[in-house]
Chain A
């Protein structure tokens, strides 16, 4: 049984690609044969975050147009077993992706034995975003504790519930997960940032995880390594928890309380 998972948000810059990279890596490290697909045609970036940018030869548009086979386009991750990347194309043609074409690629990936197919959605609600979510079985809605991001997440939830294949064909609805990123417990403590509880109350979607605001995310993207490959970082551990929950494990939320600063930390103002 393979599952199609979309990582979406509506708003840009909230951490969709970082999340797609981390979740797909985590699933693969948990032994699941996983592929992560970049749906951001024209502005691909997943390849950079995954560190495979120099190995892109063919992309999903080539596959859909029959210019390359699926196995020619799939990039096997060198560091993580069971993990493959299917890049987006850099074409400016907005209609490069078609519903039938994407459906066929997903079917072929299922046949190849992929257990998880992670679709990294572009921002917005245009064609790329719609196709990324259309075939999904589950959705991870990425949201920052920030007013416009929460609003866009709600819009996206509405679209998932009405415009997806499952909605249109009357099947059971897409399973929704909320993933809060860039969370700063100290700012929540001072009342200048929406809390986990606030966001859950507004969006009413089960919480998959809370990723703290962390230097590790920028460092990981600089290096082209999914952030959870380094198990010592806060963000990496938070993503690992999220992956475990996705696989059905119950884990307490971490990194949502204010970290107590040690004596030296207080002295120098660094945590």
Chain B
């Protein structure tokens, strides 16, 4: 340790700062890849959306598909609903 080091700002030395920066980059990347941390409200929202749809048409549990895509600038939320082929209990207005 040189004499100058004594006077240096000791609050954030390179090594912990480096660790933090490396972690931030790495974790952002890993989360984006594996969708590790999809929003925690997702399952609940999925359930509610399913309930709303069922007010009008009967669909199976797996008829509603959610995808969350992370990008550097934005997150894309994709919702896919498969309606049954025969629309029972609904009237066609034509």
Contact = CB atoms under 8 A, between A and B. Distances in A.
Interface of A: 146-147, 150-151, 154-155, 157-159, 161-162, 166-167, 169-173, 188-195, 198, 201-202
A154 B27 CA distance: 7
B86 interface: no
B91 interface: no
Contacts of A188: 16
B44 A172 contact: yes
Output the residue of A151, A161, A189 with the most chain B CB within 10 A.
A161
B17 A191 contact: yes
A253 B37 CA distance: 27
Contact of A154 (B16, B20, B36, B41): B36
Given A151-B23, A173-B40, 11 more contacts: A158-B34, A158-B37, A161-B38, A173-B43, A191-B12, A191-B14, A192-B16, A201-B20, A202-B20, A202-B23, A202-B24
Nearest to B47: A170
A10 B80 CA distance: 33
B82 interface: no
Binding site of B, secondary structure by majority: helix, strand, loop or mixed? helix
Output the residue of A157, A167, A191, A192 with the most chain B CB within 10 A.
A191
Interface in B1-38: 10-17, 19-20, 22-24, 26-27, 30-31, 34-38
B10 to A, nearest CB: 6
A191 B44 CA distance: 42
Given A154-B30, A158-B31, A170 B44 contact: yes
Contacts of A169: 43
12 contacts: A147-B23, A157-B36, A157-B37, A158-B30, A161-B37, A162-B38, A166-B43, A170-B44, A172-B44, A173-B43, A191-B14, A191-B16
A90 to B, nearest CB: 33
Given A154-B30, A155-B30, A161 B23 contact: no
A191 B23 CA distance: 16
Contacts of B14: 191
Contacts of A201: 20
B46 interface: yes
Contact of B19 (A162, A172, A194): A194
A99 to B, nearest CB: 19
Given A162-B38, A170-B46, A173-B40, A195 B16 contact: yes
